[in-house]
Structure 1
């Protein structure tokens, strides 16, 4: 039994060292009756992945990375985004000369990938980098110490012509193992690529399932997609199936490893943008920030479980919540994608969409996204607003310009107050702070107060200070050749703080 006792004692010591909150009590001394409540502490490590920004030679991309000030503790740290490694074609590895050249190229790529594209040096000030053309790689990165809590990054790409024309914005995401993308397509008028990026030093294996209005689409090539270590793979969805479906849901899971996943969607007639994953399946969903001048709004929803979902559809407008005429409810069949054209439901006022169960005792989980169009004819531009979680303690939109930013705030339950901080600019400027009250059941759209003396771009940080949950998004608009190009990024909680349970020593576990 001695070895068992020693193992348990060693385990207790390790636990105390890891948590930093174990209470050490001398043998025979009275132990505390219960562990103290969990402490809320800043995270000490965070990871992000960003997809390759564009396959267009006309693409102009700006990367912006930012860590909010004030919550990172004293520990020094780093926050860097580095290029992924190119995928090596080993088809000719039997040819000694070609194999040697491939090895040299791989070695050069590894050295290049060790150099950060951008690095945050201090909290409270965004850092910007640029890349032009189609050769910009996907990025992976890690933040540690005081630079980890709330670390955020965005890439914003402007393409002025061609099939990818538009303003494409995407928030770099934390790697995960499960993603839902309602609103994707395999239609002939669409070019939808799903980007899978692996940040780790070991390979990952992913599966992609597609679900249309009639259920699962037949596909033999969506299973077992290998994503090599620190690399990125782009898969054209229409190559996974022979069925051309205009509105479908893509489900990405990993068999091994973890990845970042996001869909780049290009429409022949309406521009392009990224589709980020919907919030995890839930009975109630919020999609914040429909622009006041939206000319078309389409809702796409999917019920992943075994039960159908009957959903109440409501618009939280400027002054009240109401149901769109003729579309008060939506029936979503199990494992089938449902869509409805809500047309210009905002009617000149900003709004947010709320989905909730028709019957509270039958809250079937769903995922959802809005496809939003501004402009008409050949002047159209699209953006996607996925269902998103509340701001919670804090959320950040890293890339904002002197003009074109709109912040949308909605409170689906109780009235709430939020604090909005515009950071210092990447090239200079003083932070600015404003406080807003968001009335229950309404959407407030504001033009943020830019930093005084702004140079470059700035970050917007939103914090809930009182009241009910607030959901938020930020739209960024740039005019180009008569087209009001825009992109929308949602602002869920950055999870920069984590509950760390307190521990106490209990030597009774050592008793025989």
Structure 2
């Protein structure tokens, strides 16, 4: 018997033992079996991190967590949020929140400055679309007002246009490492004249299961009103967010801009915004020329005097847009007016006047492709803005039961092309506590962008926070595979 025949028999026997494939038959000829489409399945594990919410003794923080119901997840799952204080791996730690069921939000409160950073994981049926929100009220001092953050997924690359190191600002970039090994991070700063030299922004080690808050003013001697911060993780992964605190105008969390792209959308500028500032940075190594459009409730508008913006390569560009919304909610849409160049961008938004001003940030958002969730909503003081920049889209909005009781409610809305709509929210009947809002495009319309605004009055200060709602990426495409012995046969016969 020839050696190649013996090799083939041995290889097929070994393969049958591994795969459990008992019958050996000639493979189909190429093209006999049509290719199968990839299956879309629920994710089985989701990780999130939350930085320490505040260093103020006057801080009052509410944490909420929620997983929307997803088909095909089975009946098992766990989720927990543990302190990222470095000792979680050495001794048991109590979870801050422990959800039990999908579609059932849970919440808890924490007072003062000792609330720790958190790292959490959801698995099984609690993983697809798992979301965590921390909302903090600070009654006085630097950054007084309402600060909100949708806790972030660990990653290796983050862009934050909108930070500052001027005299009125105290900005920290918080780096949270959820893993069992250290991460190594570089922080790069870009101002109006280009990159800032910093000897202490490189090789920052974030130990396992810890958080590292980095004060931006320690990375440069320059006092700058508009900065772009680039967090580049060279080893491991972290969750990153910028806490931007102002001496006079409150503050909020600045989350990362959507991935660099030639077209961006910043959804949900409040109708009563008194000042709006655009901060942009070109990541593509070339200048970018961008058209500015405001998607209003009645259609797309070109702002007079701010029709275009030129963003120089490697430099942060800022443009004051004033009260661009003119009493109506809107979204800023950036598109290339010339050669397409990837950019990142964010809006700094101010409400109020004089000593009663408060600030929030709207970074360029990812689109809602399948589903997005906003949690920690209250019966009053919650707004949802939906934007369809290029084509009409139909959207289903579901309000969950409350953390302490109530029944879910749903409603479907049509968002016309080129508009932003602040919708009349469905509210759970018999609501007790806070609730979650789930946003789902229902048809074949164009891309959808969304943001949620929370507002409250704090002794005359119109406190607010805005969170953009990216797609929750709760499902993933899994290619369908089948055993093909022809590959093995071909390899053996040609040895």
Q: Normalising by the residue count of structure 1, what TM-score does the alignment of the two structures yield?
A: 0.91
- The structural deviation recorded for 1:110 is 4.1
CA contact (8 A) 2:407 2:428 kept: yes
Q: Are residues 25 and 285 of structure 1, via their aligned partners in 2, closer, same or farther at CA, if it must alter by over 3 Å?
A: farther
Verify: 1:340 aligned to 2:314, yes or no.
no
What is aligned with 1:506?
Answer: 484
Instruction: Select 2:26's aligned residue among 28, 42, 47.
Output: 28
Q: Name 1:76's counterpart in structure 2.
A: 76
Contact 2:143 2:249 in 1 (8 A): no
Number of equivalenced pairs: 483
Counterpart CA distance in 1 for 2:10 and 2:206 is 43
The 5 Å alignment of 1:185-224 reads 185-224=164-203
1:384 to 332, 355, 361: 361
Mapping 1:144-183, distance limit 5 Å: 144-183=123-162
Partner residue in 2 for 1:92: none
1:372 aligns with 2:371: no
Matching residue of 1:91: none
Structural mapping, 1:41-190, within 5 Å:
41-71=41-71, 73-86=73-86, 110-111=90-91, 114-190=93-169
Q: 1:188 to 1:3 in 2, by over 3 A?
A: farther
- The one-character-per-residue Cα deviations of 1:196-240 (angstroms, maximum 9, x if unpaired) are 000000010100000001000111000000000010000000000
Change (3 A) 1:12 1:65: farther
Indicate if the aligned counterparts of 1:248 and 1:337 stay in contact, CA closer than 8 A.
Answer: yes
Residue 255 of structure 1 aligns to a residue in which SS?
A: strand
Q: CA RMSD in A?
A: 2.1
Q: Which runs of 5+ in 1 are unaligned?
A: 18-22, 87-105
Structure 2 CA distance for aligned equivalents of residues 72 and 299 of structure 1: 42
Structure 2 stretches lacking a partner, 5+ long = none
Q: TM-score, normalised by structure 2?
A: 0.94
Aligned-residue offset at 1:243:
1.1
Q: Name the SS for the 1:119 alignment partner.
A: coil
**Which secondary structure state, in structure 2, belongs to the residue aligned with residue 277 of structure 1?**
coil
Cα distance, 1:399 vs structure 2 = 1.1
Counterpart of 2:40 in structure 1 is 40
Hey, what does 1:99 align to over in structure 2?
none
The 3 A distance-change label for structure 1 pair 423 and 25 is: farther
Aligned-partner Cα distance in 2 for 1:188–1:509: 66
SS of the residue 1:504 aligns to:
coil
1:496 is matched with: 474
- Report the Cα offset of residue 25 of structure 1: 7.4
Rounded to whole Å, the distance in 1 between the matches of 2:91 and 2:104 is 28
1:458 aligned residue: 435
**8 Å CA contact 1:405, 1:447 repeated in 2:** no
The answer on whether the counterparts of 2:27 and 2:486 sit within 8 Å (CA) in structure 1 is no
2:425 is aligned with 1:448? yes
Query: 1:77: Cα distance to partner?
Result: 1.0
1:349-396 deviations in whole A, cap 9, x for unaligned?
00000000002xx11000000000000011100100000111111000
The alignment status of 1:485 with 2:485, answered yes or no, reads: no
1:202-351 → structure 2 map (5 Å cutoff): 202-351=181-330
1:471 matched to 2:453: no
Cα offset for 1:449? 1.9
| Runs of 4 or more consecutive aligned structure 1 residues displaced over 4 Å after TM superposition | 1-14, 23-26
Alpha-carbon offset, residue 255 of structure 1: 1.0
